A and B are shown apart, each in its own frame.
Chain A
Amino acid sequence: MVDISINSISGEQELKSRSLGQETLRRLLKNKGAIIGMLFLLILIIAAVLSGFIYDYDTDVISQNIGERLQWPSRAHIFGTDELGRDIFIRILYGARYSLTIGSGSVLIGLIVGVIFGSIAGFYGGMVDQVIMRTNDILYAVPNIMIAVVIVSLLGTSTFNLLLALCVSASSSFVRIARASVMTIRGQEYIESAYAMGLPTWKIILKHVIPNSLSPIIVQVTLLIGTTIISASSLSFLGIGVPSPAPEWGAMLSAGRSQIRNASYICVIPGLAIMFTVLALNLLGDGLRDALDPKLKK
């Protein structure tokens, strides 16, 4: 072959190199949706944290005040009061604490567990891989609400059991992602050259495998927190999530059902809270996905 492309090779070195993190951040900040999402989440987190200091759980959040029950939103109670006279605005703010902690907690723990198992499966292959993946297939296929149902019926209704159930579900998607990343990267040439250079296995994993698997995991975490918040509220709605009188948003909706005819605002407001929180997470997650791999968008 009489190839003249040798001339192109000598010229290709002058591309500006920015670190991956800087590039990603720049692209992310260009995304208006992602910024809205981040701002909302920031405000929500601050509100959730502050509400712990401003309001006292027993007097403000759960104490009943029958005289003031079922009042529509007004200046005294911005979001109105529920069927037991409790101020809904305060309960919503406090409820953010539940949603955010349960959502992010279960996903992050699920992440660690899932990545460990997935990486082991992908890296070693063979029997280990088969066992881990078959078990994971079952967990992945069963919807997280069902898993929660089983765990709750075995162990009882409590916030901890809810968390446990959600962790189990969350880990199953990470097992898949981690395994796929490890397997793809394992086969790539720069790993072979790393081996050839004599790097020990754990170093290869740390320096090469993990940074490259990071992108899909970051996106998945963000989006999964949103789904988990919805699941947690669904389970609380059904009565097997966070036990009452805790102001979990789903539980508030469940209680509000009986009042749907004359106090419909009770059924609207907590749902809006859930929706906007998850919306913010989705906007952020989509933004991260576009920022981390622009090829996907174009």
Chain B
Amino acid sequence: MFRYILKRLLLMIPVILVTSLVIYFAMSLTGGDPAIYLAPENASDAQIQQIRVDLGLTESFPIRYLKYMAGMFRGNMGTSYVTKRDVFNTFMTRLPNTLQLAGASVLIATLIAIPLGIYTAIHQNTWKDTAGMIFALFGVSMPNFWLGLMLIILFSLKLGWLPSGGKTGLLSLVLPAMTVGLGLAALITRTTRSSMLDVIREDYIRTARAKGCSEKRVIRKHAMGNALIPIITVIGMQLSNVLTGSVLAETVFSWPGIGRLIFDSISKRDTPMVTGSIILCSVLMVAINLLVDVIYAFFDPRIKAQFMRKV
């Protein structure tokens, strides 16, 4: 197992290198001249040129790139044009906020969706199933930023129960997390339901019943164990959507996360910040993918065996 993880970590490196190269290259084409941004007012051309030399901007592209990547490992990815603050630090300070939002969203989503999905599968073709499916269908069809606006109108403006923006404590996490979480819940409900329906038809469920297992046990032990596998896969695939969902939620609720950071930087053409955050973001996503795959292997012994053997 460890060898598998190590192998995956090693594989991460080329992916990150390629992604960062592409982004760095693209940004350098459009980025504007950092020296001009960083120079004090009234600086002479010679001074600006000196800044360029100091920053290493006069060197060739490959060297700049390598130095940049080396810098990443030391936590130095440049300075923001706008805030004049360190890119790496800014990203890292805001990362936990997004992780909290994402974590709370996934939590809400699974707590709602998995029981609901199982329930509708067991009661297939009754009104309970139809009701659950209609909820899920609406949830999947609405843009989550609009849901956020609706939640604000209802819970902040009309009822006044919850704050409408900013990070001001635990309560302020509720609406943003619901914005991302409910849409995710709708999707996971559908997946859970269809996964359960597939599993219930399998022959080994019939074997379990023929052994004398109660229906409860059949669902709990035999069906769930197998149904969870594709569900976890879907949740894993959705994690990057949770991130983008966070971007939208952060915008609607002025939540200080990295999604908002990337967007603000883009609109302000803050190249170092954009470059740095997108690269760090991709590192994050690759790491999360690895985590999900490892969890997945835990649940499905066939995959575990494959992993063990592959290395």
Check B135 for interface membership: any CB of A closer than 8 A.
no
Q: Is the CB of A253 within 8 A of B251?
A: no
Check A240 for interface membership: any CB of B closer than 8 A.
yes
Partner of B30, one of A146, A153, A238: A153
Quote the shortest CB–CB distance from B151 to chain A (angstroms).
Answer: 11
Q: Which of A134-181 contact B (CB under 8 A)?
A: 138, 141-143, 145-146, 149-150, 152-154
Q: Is the CB of A267 within 8 A of B244?
A: no
Q: Is the CB of A138 within 8 A of B15?
A: yes
Q: Is the CB of B157 within 8 A of A253?
A: no
- Tier of interface size on chain B: 35 or more
Quote the shortest CB–CB distance from A288 to chain B (angstroms).
Answer: 15
- Beyond A271-B149, A274-B143, whether A237 also contacts B241 by CB under 8 A is no
Chain B residues with Cβ below 8 Å from A153 are 27, 30, 266, 274
Q: Is the CB of B278 within 8 A of A150?
A: yes
Interface pick from A16-24, A209-217, A226-234: A226-234
Chain B residues with Cβ below 8 Å from A268 are 149-150, 153
Q: Is the CB of B142 within 8 A of A274?
A: yes
Check A279 for interface membership: any CB of B closer than 8 A.
yes
* Residue of chain B at shortest CB distance from A232: B143
Q: Is the CB of B143 within 8 A of A275?
A: yes
Please report whether the interface of chain A is mostly helix, strand, loop or mixed according to DSSP: helix
Q: Is the CB of A154 within 8 A of B26?
A: yes
Q: Which of A208-267 contact B (CB under 8 A)?
A: 226, 230, 233-234, 237-240, 250, 253, 257, 260-261, 264, 267
Q: Is the CB of B141 within 8 A of A275?
A: yes
Check A291 for interface membership: any CB of B closer than 8 A.
no
Question: When chains A and B are docked, how far (Å) is the Cα of A152 from the Cα of B262?
Answer: 13
Quote the shortest CB–CB distance from B158 to chain A (angstroms).
Answer: 9
Q: Is the CB of A250 within 8 A of B150?
A: no
Q: Is the CB of B143 within 8 A of A234?
A: yes
Q: Is the CB of B240 within 8 A of A141?
A: yes
Check A96 for interface membership: any CB of B closer than 8 A.
no
* Residue of chain A at shortest CB distance from B147: A271
Question: When chains A and B are docked, how far (Å) is the Cα of A268 from the Cα of B141?
Answer: 15
- Beyond A138-B19, A238-B251, whether A271 also contacts B241 by CB under 8 A is no
Q: Is the CB of B137 within 8 A of A234?
A: no
Q: Is the CB of A145 within 8 A of B143?
A: no
* Residue of chain B at shortest CB distance from A146: B244
Quote the shortest CB–CB distance from B185 to chain A (angstroms).
Answer: 16
Question: When chains A and B are docked, how far (Å) is the Cα of A150 from the Cα of B266?
Answer: 9
Chain A residues with Cβ below 8 Å from B145 are 234, 237, 250, 253
Check B229 for interface membership: any CB of A closer than 8 A.
no
Chain A residues with Cβ below 8 Å from B18 are 138
Question: When chains A and B are docked, how far (Å) is the Cα of A8 from the Cα of B248?
Answer: 61
Residues 258-269 of chain B: 1 if any A CB is under 8 Å from the residue's CB, otherwise 0?
000011001100
Given A142-B240, A275-B146, 17 further pairs, Cβ under 8 A: A138-B19, A141-B240, A146-B281, A153-B274, A154-B26, A234-B143, A234-B144, A234-B145, A237-B145, A237-B248, A238-B251, A240-B266, A260-B153, A268-B153, A278-B142, A279-B138, A282-B137
When A and B form their complex, which 7 residue pairs have the shortest distance between CB atoms, in order from nearest?
A: A271-B146, A279-B141, A278-B141, A143-B244, A275-B142, A145-B244, A267-B149
Residues on A facing B (Cβ under 8 Å): 138, 141-143, 145-146, 149-150, 152-154, 226, 230, 233-234, 237-240, 250, 253, 257, 260-261, 264, 267-268, 270-271, 274-276, 278-279, 282-283, 286
Residues on B facing A (Cβ under 8 Å): 15, 18-19, 23, 26-27, 29-30, 137-138, 140-146, 149-150, 152-153, 157, 240-241, 243-244, 247-248, 251-252, 262-263, 266-267, 274, 278, 281-282, 285, 289
